[in-house]
Structure 1
Amino acid sequence: MSERYGNHTRVYTVRDFLEDTGEVVVDIVQHEHDSPMMLFSRDAHVGMEFSLTGPRVHFTIPPREQDEPVALFADATAIPALVSIFDRTDGKLPGELYLVAGDRAAVNEITLPGDLRLTHINPEDTGDPQPLYTCARALENPTSYVVWAAGERAEMASIRSYFRDEVGMDKSRVSVAGYWRIGVGNDEIDRARKKFYERKRAEGAKLEDFNDLDAGI
């Protein structure tokens, strides 16, 4: 971004791509703070020019057998990614979705695929600092699912460790990403990601081999 926005960068999920017009749709949740993205979104207008980099590797639900159930764990920051995934299903996605979000209206706007059961958790109604991790540990017969999770980095790391290390699931059946970190600014996260990516590339790794949770943030 320009000097007006502190020369910061931000990572966002593309909710939809309109191939006929070359347009992309990105969800930006509005709030009262003057963060770089809030300033940018208020300034945005038709004809405005700006630069994009990427895309980063997009992670989606791991490959699964037909009708094999999924276990999805997400907070409000992952809603655009969920919508993008759901838009590309065949209309059915058996399994469980655990979603932590305070904005009930945003939750109600999600069109759930058939056979997917939603458990909505309002963060104001729980004193649990990691409610998604708690739901993950309570999941019965976890190895019968493929797992997808996205949200706060520390909680996502706990979820990944549980399914991979304690349950013993293969990494091909567990896809987890951390979007933000409690007490850590996005600029610090982006700098750490950049250093991590540069180091891994220098070691010969491909982008699809990276796991963002290993960036040490």
Structure 2
Amino acid sequence: MILDTKEVTKRFGGLTAVNQVSMQIEEGEIFGLIGPNGAGKTTFLNSIAGKFPPTSGKVFFLGEETTGLPAEVMCKRGLARTFQIPRPFPKMTVLENVKVGAVFGPSAHGLKSAELRAQEALEFVEFNLPIDTPASQLNAVQLKRIDLARAISCQPKLLLLDELASGLTPGELDSMMALIKRIRDDGVTIIAIEHIMRVIKGICDEVMVIEYGTTIAEGTPDEVLNNPKVIEAYLGEEEVPNAGA
């Protein structure tokens, strides 16, 4: 088991954003995390990845307790992530942005090897602009590609994806789903927050649904998307005929 969270809770003052969420992820899985906007999905990942510590509960990564460790330590241990809204260094080039991830990864060996890994990561995600392009000149889809390249340049064991497919065309969705599967096939376990059910059904082995910070369902995509509680809380009645498609 690569990740095990035990009753992770995160409170902000009187607001409970995540309420006793337990999750077990096996190596090699693509695990989907879905739920309404504001359900606590990103807050849960933030508690795992070290952006802030959980209020209570425990996190175990690669068999060791990592509860409350900061993000830079988690990165060194093999956890990387993308963000719902990529925030690159706008005055730096594409290559320089991706190289940042390689420098801070678990097996960084200086700037030269980091640059080589950054170039390999950009090739892997099929980034199709010159690598000396300033990040400020990229559109939203291109920014998602370099955000993903920066994450995989860390050479992670576990990769957290936060709505990587949002804003993509149907053709771009197909390409992104194939890319995510290739990352998994390279030995990286993935947790993906996603709202597009086509993506969830197309790539995920297991899915968890969170509503108001609490887990309401977990299972295979077909099991979860046909669960009456999930339909009522998240999908809506119009999704029922297509839930198992």
Q: Same fold (TM over 0.5)?
A: no
Q: Calculate the TM-score normalised by the size of structure 1.
A: 0.34
